[in-house]
Amino acid sequence: MDDAMTERAGQDERAEQAVLDALAAVLGAVPPAGTGWTDGLWDLYEVYEESRSGRGEPPELTAEQSARFASQWRRQELSGAAHRLAGELRERAEREQLAAPATAADLSLRLVRAGLVAHDAINLLYALGVPHGESGLLALAHDREISEGDRIWARERLFALRRDGYRARGEMAPEGEEPLLPEAVRRLPVDIGGAVALSVGPDLAQAALTALLPPAELSPPEPPPEWTAGWDELDEQDEYRPDWLEVRLLIRELMPTPQRVTRERMSEAERECAVIGLDGDGEDFTDLWVTRIAAWLAAGIFDALGRGADWTALTPWAMDLAENYVRRGMAAEEARAFLRLAGDEVPYSQLVLGRLST
pLDDT tens, position by position, 266-313 = 999 999 999 999 987 767 999 999 999 999 999 999 998 988 778 999
User: Binning pLDDT at 50, 70 and 90, where does residue 194 land?
Assistant: low
Residue 13, CA distances (Å) to 7, 10, 18, 244 in order: 10, 5, 9, 44
Angstrom distance (rounded) from CA 100 to CA 93 = 10
Confidence of residue 60 (pLDDT cuts 50, 70, 90): confident
| CB atoms inside a 10 Å sphere around CB 174 | 16
Quote the CA–CA distance of 181 and 101 in Å, as a whole number.
45
Residue 72 φ/ψ, nearest 5 degrees: -65, -40
pTM: 0.86
Q: In angstroms, rounded to a whole number, what is the distance separating the alpha carbons of residues 333 and 126? A: 39
DSSP string, 306-348: TSS--HHHHTTHHHHHHHHHHHHTBSHHHHHHHHHHHHTT-HH
pLDDT-derived band of residue 195, with 50, 70 and 90 as boundaries? low
* Number of Cβ within a 10 Å radius of residue 137: 30
Rounded CA-CA distance 154/144 in Å is: 12
| Structure confidence at residue 192 (pLDDT) | 46
Residue 6 has pLDDT above 70, yes or no: no
